Chain A
Amino acid sequence: MVEIEFPRSFRIGGVYAMIVFDLDYEDLEYGYRLSGPYNPSRGLRFDHSKILSDPYARVLGGRDVWRAEPDWNNIYQHRSRLAFDDFDWEGDYPLETPIQDLVFYELHVRGFTAQSSSQVSAPGTYAGLREKIPYLKELGINCVELLPIYEFDEWENNRHHPETGELLLNYWGYSTVAFFAPKAGYAATGGLGMQVDELKTTIKELHRNGIEVVLDVVFNHTAEGDHRGPTISFRGIDNQAYYMLTPEGYYYNFSGCGNTLNCNHPVARNMVIDCLRYWASEYHIDGFRFDLASILGRDQSGAPLSNPPLLESLAFDPVLSKCKLIAEAWDAGGLYQVGSFPAYGRWAEWNGKYRDAIRRFIKGDEGVVEEMATRIQGSPDLYWYRGPTASTNFITCHDGFTLQDLVSFNGKHNEANGENNNDGGNDNNSWNCGWEGESTDPAVNELRTRQIKNAVTILMVSQGVPMILMGDEIGRTQKGNNNAYCHDNEYSWMDWTLAETNPCMLRFFQKLIAFRHAHPALRRNGFFAHRDIRGTGSADITFHGLRPFAPDYSAWSRCLAFMLSGPNASEPDDDIYIAMNMYWDALPFRVPRACNDSPWKIAINTSMPSPQDIFEQGGEPNLGNEEIVVGPRSIIVLTADTRSFKGEK
């Protein structure tokens, strides 16, 4: 090891630059030692005893192999390394799929294949994900949204499992150590320092299969935590620039994780932009989902800005112009901006209001039907100026219950997190279908299966961009844990044996996603005009109840039907009629006439057992009636072939 001092002649202003010749760049690890005043009340926390990692480090050593315990006595835990830009992309580029055509699949790189049941050669890695591409393709999704893959420290947790005593981890990784470096512990070749190549190879292969890659990025805080946290990089370089500080020199905690990145300080802002440009250009990333993005709209004292420079810069950045930008439009400081996020006509949002409305509707809450009519249109009340593609629709995500647990638990069961079940949200809008947790009662299980099908059917026929959580398609459970951030175990891992025990569920998801892809009427990039532009006799969307054109928006209503006019879609499509009955008894729905009196066919009926629950396109049975009985807590989807309609232009 060698330490080289910066001579005065190597500095201009606050910028230090030096070229060191004859280094072995393959094995080089480097860091910085900075001297300066330590005066926390003034926000200064220089520490000459620490070696700091480079905020722009492309590769980081120190956590090369997942869960390999580091040498805690090493004063330089996270060591900057060099990456090389010699990867052969073989003509690959970001796919630039129109966002309305995407179906997101949110997954954890490690959890997706960590369990031995995945039967991949390198469980829990980028390479393992690559081996599972055929599964994703067969499922029909065309975009994976990866939980954080920026370098983080899985050891950043000091809690223990209350029963087993096992040390819990930071498994999710929402605590960045290095923004430019991919997580080495997620690479089978991380021990060789080849995580960059392995990740790029996986991205290239995903692209070859028509699957985009969106990264969940965490710019709201860093792994340095509050004043008690470790000094890794930013704190020791320029604490005042990188962090929002209180007048007393402590850290604002709008992230709920100890500190808040000072995103609208020019230095931090440039780092964020540089970072995203780097991932878009160097890794061919197709888009970014910003964790607790509302923090990115706060000023240096934490006040929300009406015109946040960072969000505006990202919206109009030329390098990122084709990237999807998706905000989690709230933060832990109480700012909730779903529908009001500073979007510049560019940003999309995780639509938390969609999630809540669908959950309440399927569990049979009163007073939700009118809101449902808005949510399935892509939430025009929230995104009128942006269009329905601003709405990332989801019912479940990593944060909260899985879909199986949403219909199996009334309350969270987070005891294994070591916080006496105090962590995790309480506003789950879940219903256990009559029994808390796993059940052997066939009636309970049948209802749960139906509720899952109801949920995902609504998701796939809603305007906006749908997102599925890893494993929901096979009934993955976290045993009622709605905050599994710390579990590198069966709570979080995908259990691939479920694909064999739940083949009917998997089939339903596959056919349903294919149904969405087959129908452009479900994937509009503009809101409904509520007019009959093509002269079909029906507006682009019409709402119905038990009788045509008579939706029941009363507080006690639990059913709603709507019809999409195929000829009024962006490309010729079928008329599609969807009847949703969340009442606990069967209800008869009179069906409106399709364009040209085309006969209705039954595409989906969630009350039927597989394979009658969803039919292949072309194999749907005729309805043969003007009325259809929709079973208790069930959804029926009808289609009528109107593609040959020749109407007014």
Chain B
Amino acid sequence: MSNPLVRSMAGTGKGNKPDMTEAKTPILEARNVYMAFGGVDVLKGINFMIYPGEVHGLVGENGAGKSTLAKIFAGVHQPRAGSLWLKGQQVHIHDPGTAVAMGIALIHQEPLTFPELDVAENIFIGRQPIRKGFPPGVDWAVMYQRSDELLKELGVDLSPKAKVRGLSIANQQMVEMAGALSQDAKILMMDEPTAALTPNEVADLFAIIRRLREQGTAIVFISHRLEEVFEISDRITVLRDGEVVGECDPRGTQVEEVIRMMVGRPLSALFDKGENHRAGKPMLEVSGLSRMMKFEDISFTVHAGEIAGVAGLVGSGRTDVARALFGALDIDKGTIKVDGEEVRFKHPRDALAKGVIYLPEDRQHNALLMPMSVSENMTLAVLEKLAPAGWLRERLERTVTQEYIDKLRIVLRQMTQSVRELSGGNQQKVVLGKWLLTRPKVMILDEPTRGIDIGAKSEVHRLMGELAAQGMAILMISSELPEILAMSDRIIVMREGRISATFDRSEATAEKVMAAAVGQVLEGA
């Protein structure tokens, strides 16, 4: 079934298609680039070429390394190994300024603008036109005029004198684009440029991208929305776990094949929860939950003893739903029932009182007091119980902390050690312990194993399995498909604020889940 136009890396060498772009020198090239953050390999020997006058789609799961690669080209990160080549010359891109000078521009998902400054300055910051005559200085008149020309060229109706604060995301993006044009960028990298745009705005953006391509600009288009990538790209590169796993021509390739390349990875290293008999009663029932601009009509049920996995791409509204369930985000419509009782949480402590706990994705900022000790962190949520007369009973604190340190097998020197010194996996266990002390009924885990090593990961997975077996209802949000597939009894897939599919454990496959997450329907898969 493999398409002849799809080249997997196994049989690379020369392309079997005499493409005219093959003959040209790439304008920008990464050779064997390695990158690691905090001991985790993010890019593992990437080879990537960008040609002038070409839109190069870059796709992959969350965390596949797409944005990291773009940031290396933009001078934000320095690769650990490997080399970068500009027009056949090896270059070192020390900092963003160097990249700008080389004509490399990176446009972010969230436009990086200066809200207090006007449109013209946002376009020209750092490169304002300078008047030649007397008195010298920034020539505002010329800057406004050239901004106006650039905006007209992009076909945007914006005043150069308007402050950027208050512009729509689409318009802010256009301001950034104009900035890239003003510096004569030859390589334009766009990281999820359509994530915050309406369909009409996307169409406008694509018209501009096509015009730039005709003028010979090389464009890297990073997106989760595969249909858009297929529409705009001349060539698509697929990344998975920091490696290039394939390259294809969108005109002769099926979307499903790209999806397969994105997800196909061995699942062996993961803990497998195994089958489960859904015996318990419904603990968390959500129906018709809506919040304007965030999510709409979310309904599902999690039973006692069950792990429900929530899959979906970043920005699909998963975390917002979790925050709403925990009382950290108001809802417009819908009902939430916990253990059969209808609840309306106004504040996270209301949720806590009803036995609903939430482990946020970013534990460093949201869940742990890094400089404080393990025991102080663990008992934070139950301080009232440990201090019956308003005075903390330290011996009791030590006893309960030790109990959970043993239960969770937290590795540490002593419980007075500061949390900062623990490894990521043990930190996550401290968070878990802190919430387990409150004796919850429903646990919402947001990316429970992000950024922790494989051993700690399976340890956290084992704990989740044990907790479920003891009757806990668990809702697990994860960007890692293998984790979702291995741990979930049921899989809820979200896309653009809605539930796009629900699968039982037995019927779920990586391809089906990914297809539902990116909005593709697989035929006969």
The answer on A and B forming one complex is: no
- The chain A residues found within 8 Å of chain B, CB to CB, are none
